[in-house]
Amino acid sequence: DTAVSQTPKYLVTQMGNDKSIKCEQNLGHDTMYWYKQDSKKFLKIMFSYNNKELIINETVPNRFSPKSPDKAHLNLHINSLELGDSAVYFCASSQDTTSYGYTFGSGTRLTVV
């Protein structure tokens, strides 16, 4: 069983489109995250949810809207995609907000053309 699963693994789309990435964890963790890894391999936190409640929003454009229907799922919807949104997006989870050991998904490579 995959602990943190993301879909799709690859996403190629045109500028201006709207797309969603889904994430699910079966670890029973309370906290989930979205990270963005750019071409220089820097990992930047975007959002964090704890028990379905947003606790971190790191100055991400409001075109990005996370949604957590329950604590096992954290989806990312992106409106009006731009070339600069091209990156690998990672979903992660941790036991709670005090945990340092994150479990990451395998990533979604988004390419905006």
Partner 1 sequence: LAKTTQPISMDSYEGQEVNITCSHNNIATNDYITWYQQFPSQGPRFIIQGYKTKVTNEVASLFIPADRKSSTLSLPRVSLSDTAVYYCLVARGGFKTIFGAGTRLFVKA
Q: Which stretch binds partner 1 (CB under 8 A): 19-27, 65-73, 77-85, 105-113?
A: 105-113
Q: Which of 27, 43, 54, 113 binds partner 1 (CB under 8 A)?
A: 43
DSSP label at 51? Answer: T
Pairwise CA distance, residues 7 & 22, whole Å: 5
**From the CB of residue 22, how many other CB atoms can be counted at a distance below 10 Å?**
16
3-state secondary structure of 84: helix
Q: Which of 65, 73, 104, 111 binds partner 1 (CB under 8 A)?
A: 104
Q: Which of 42, 53, 54, 113 binds partner 1 (CB under 8 A)?
A: 42
3-state secondary structure of 85: helix
Residues 6+ apart with CB under 8 A from 42: none
Q: Which stretch binds partner 1 (CB under 8 A): 11-19, 64-72, 75-83, 103-111?
A: 103-111
63 touches partner 1 by CB under 8 A: no
27 touches partner 1 by CB under 8 A: no
